[in-house]
Amino acid sequence: MNKDYYKILNINRESSQDDIKKAFRKLSKQHHPDKGGDENVFKEMSEAYDTLSDPQKRRKYDHQRQNPFAGGSGPNMDDIFNQFFGGQGRRQQHIRKGTNLNIPLVVTLDDVYFQSLKKLKYKRKVLCHTCHGSGGESNVCGVCKGRGQTEQMVGNAFFRQVVTQTCKACNGKGKHILKKCHTCNSIGLIDEEKIIDFQIPGDLLTGQVYTFRSMGNEVYNGTNGDLNIEVVIQRHPHFKVINQDLIYEPKIPILKLILGMEIKIPFFNSSLTVQIPPLSRPGQTFNVKGKGLKLPNRNYGDLHVKPEIVSPTQINNKERTLLEELVNSENFKK
């Protein structure tokens, strides 16, 4: 049993039955095929809910997680969805979908802080304007009756199942072209250059993926693919980022830490001043509230100043004499 049903529903192993129900209800609204979701994702969710919502099945699942031969019949996805929403189930078993497009986007920390607007240019496949995606004049494939797929019953007297395959007569197109479209060379798709506006979220974390529904490739007699933008934050010359907090690590001499000093921080398009009090300890962190990145709740993270202590690589005779005097003085002796 390789699938982690708890992870699929985004819950922990101590979740109550009510937690499981709420998690499935929330995810179903996003992923049910009738609502534009991915059929495979919804199938996995339904399988996970069918098992975890039944106490007996759940105990068996938890007990046999390491057993690769544990089996069982899958759930009826429509029944589970209808249990929550009273819907009519999936009306279309095989909905064609265009290819998803993935765009990597590298942004600076300044872009995130100021929530910059980026214009992204990309190419996608759209239906040919001449033949409207049909590829030209055609007739329906007599083998698959236009479905692009054929079904075959396989098995024996004890176990039989229906296997769906791409129609070999028409290569899954559901038709035979009689007269080719010269605009798209009978492909049915042409290239389109598109520009979209992408507002950098202030609470962005590196590696996040933002999906624009139906902005991917088009497909004949189906739904458009999606456009996925994976955002990576470029390394900043001054700050490290941990969640929505900024980390600033200035190098300061050990004596400055003892005497106290003022640190000026280059803070995006301005500057901040942080006071290091006298007799500060090595490794001490000084926090500036609300000077980090934006949080999902509209507040801001913090700026953490962590001084890195540096020592001289060499000293002259005068410096050595002064240091020896300090070492033998009252407070340094302690």
pLDDT band at 173 (very low <50, low <70, confident <90, very high): confident
Strand partners, 21: none
pLDDT band at 317 (very low <50, low <70, confident <90, very high): very high
Residue 69 has pLDDT above 60, yes or no: no
State how far the Cα of 321 lies from the Cα of 331, in Å rounded to an integer: 17
Mean pLDDT, rounded, for 273-280: 94
Give the list of residues 6+ apart from residue 94 with CB closer than 8 angstroms, or none.
147, 149, 164
Residue-level pLDDT at 38: 75
- pLDDT, mean of residues 66-77: 51
Cα torsion 193, 194, 199, 201: sign: negative
Residue 86's pLDDT is 53
Domain 94-125+191-234 fold is HSP40/DNAj peptide-binding domain (2.60.260)
pLDDT mean over 69-74: 49
Can you give the pLDDT at residue 34? 63
pLDDT at 67 over 70: no
What's residue 91's pLDDT? Answer: 42
Say how many C-beta atoms besides its own lie within 10 A of residue 334's C-beta: 5
The pLDDT assigned to 92 comes to: 44
Best CA proximity match to 28, nearest among 92, 65, 79: 79
Q: What are the DSSP E strand ranges found in the chain? A: 96-97, 101-107, 117-127, 136-140, 149-155, 160-166, 175-180, 189-199, 209-212, 222-223, 227-233, 239-242, 245-248, 251-253, 261-267, 270-276, 286-288, 303-305, 308-310
Alpha-carbon dihedral angle through residues 253, 255, 259, 262, given to the nearest 10 degrees:
-10
CATH homologous superfamily of 239-333 equals Urease metallochaperone UreE, N-terminal domain (2.60.260.20)
Q: Token digits for 289? A: 């509230």
User: What's the DSSP call for residue 73?
Assistant: P
Higher-pLDDT residue of 240, 48: 240
Within 8 A by CB and 6+ apart from 180, the residues are 135, 136, 186
User: Which carries the bigger pLDDT value, residue 196 or residue 72?
Assistant: 196
pLDDT reading at 54 higher than 90: no
286 bridge partner residues: 305
Residue 72 neighbours by CB distance under 10 Å = 13
CA–CA separation, 326 vs 322, rounded Å? 6
Which residue(s) pair with 303 in the sheet?
A: 246, 288
Q: Judge whether residue 247 has pLDDT over 50.
A: yes
SS3 label, residue 76: coil
Query: Cα Rg for the chain, rounded, in angstroms?
Result: 31
- The 8-class DSSP code of residue 20 comes to H
61: pLDDT strictly greater than 60: yes
Q: What span, in angstroms and rounded, lies between the C-alpha atoms of 51 and 56?
A: 8
Q: Which two tokens stand for residue 249?
A: 């690590």
pLDDT at 73 over 70: no
Q: Report the pLDDT value the prediction gives residue 103, as an integer from 0 to 100.
A: 92
The two structure tokens encoding residue 187:
């492909």
Averaged pLDDT, 223-247: 93
What stretch(es) of the chain map to CATH 2.60.260.20? 94-125+191-234, 239-333
Structure tokens at 328: 């033998």
* Residues 204-217 pLDDT 10s: 888 889 999 999 99
Q: What is the pLDDT of residues 251-267, one digit of tens each?
A: 999 999 999 999 999 99
- pLDDT tens digits along 300-315: 999 999 999 999 999 9
Q: What's the pLDDT band for 183 if we cut at 50, 70, 90? A: very high
Mean pLDDT over residues 277-289, rounded? 93
213 and 175 Cβ atoms separated by less than 8 Å: no
In percent, how much of the chain has pLDDT > 90?
46
Whether 170 has a pLDDT exceeding 90, the answer reads no
Topology of domain 5-93 in CATH is: Helix Hairpins (1.10.287)
pLDDT of residue 89: 46
Distances from the Cα of 204 to the Cα of 1, 197, 245, 289, angstroms: 35, 16, 12, 19
State which amino acid sits at residue 85.
Answer: F
pLDDT of residue 10: 85
What is the per-residue pLDDT across 142-153, written as a single tens digit (0 to 9) for each? Answer: 888 888 888 887
* pLDDT tens digits for range 217-226: 999 888 999 9
b (16+ CB within 10 A) / e for 180-204: ebeebebbbbbeeeeeeebebebbb
Three-state DSSP at 209 gives: strand
Q: What is the pLDDT of residue 83?
A: 56
CB-count exposure of residue 38 (10 Å: 0-12, 13-18, 19+): middle
Average pLDDT, the chain: 85
Intervals of CATH 1.10.287.110 along the chain: 5-93
